[in-house]
Amino acid sequence: MSCSARNSGLTLVELVIAMAVSGLLAMTIPPLVFHGAKAMAFLPKAMAVNHAATEIMYQMTEGSFSTLAGQPMVQGLRFALRRSSSAPALWLAADDCVGFRASGGQDVLIWWDSSTETMRRRVSPAACPMACPAPSAGSEALPYEALGSVRVLQIPAATSVFRYYNQSGVAVGAPGCSLGGITSIRRIDVGFVAQSGSGQFDSAQAQQTMTSSVAIRVP
């Protein structure tokens, strides 16, 4: 019985398949490596932006520990409460800043400072009229640990950080210090964009849009 040995070389079909696979790998692997390196650079920025955005919104709406002198804790918008008929929960309602009377007795001012691209707050006696942004002296950035690394911007489609609504859910133009306009407000929508650098993934930068809604209590 005789058996024939098969040649160990590649056939033409096998050679064509091998070349096609090699070409496919040559086209796909470098982009994958490139995008993988980009993702590795993007991830820490995304985590920092997410942390800052979450902290900013939490500190605005719920409150937090504070670096302000004599104010170890500052309450947020959810604790805005009317103290009397002549002292409503809000004492200032503008496009980019809001002043409110917190249930703990604090008069809090929160505003978006477009010049430094930060959200800021301070505790001081209610005063109207007040310019927005307020002077930065005696205030703190939210959150202080992200200062300089994360920018706070308006949502592109929006014209303000704070938007106000009455009991029927109808938008109320920012009334400023007008007592009549302020007492009609029952809800505040808050929205902003937090981003590092340009916010573009291709530049290994990140951005995040944050929105929330706060009901104003009127006992």
Whole-number pLDDT of residue 200: 86
Show the low-confidence residues of the chain (pLDDT under 70): 1-10, 12-16, 18-39, 131, 133, 145-147, 219
Using CB atoms within 10 A of its CB, is residue 154 exposed (0-12), middle (13-18) or buried (19+)?
A: middle
| Alpha-carbon distances, residue 198 vs 50, 115, 172 (angstroms) | 15, 17, 33
Whole-number pLDDT of residue 32: 47
Whole-number pLDDT of residue 16: 64
- pTM equals 0.80
Residue ranges per domain, the chain?
26-215
Whole-number pLDDT of residue 35: 54
Whole-number pLDDT of residue 45: 86
In sequence order, the 6+-apart residues with CB closer than 8 A to the CB of 32 are none
List pLDDT tens digits, range 69-78.
888 999 999 9
Whole-number pLDDT of residue 41: 73
Closest CA to 164 of 112, 109, 90: 90
Radius of gyration for the alpha carbons in the chain, expressed in angstroms and rounded = 28
Helix (H) or strand (E) holding 26: helix 12-61
Whole-number pLDDT of residue 213: 96
List pLDDT tens digits, range 144-158.
766 678 999 999 988
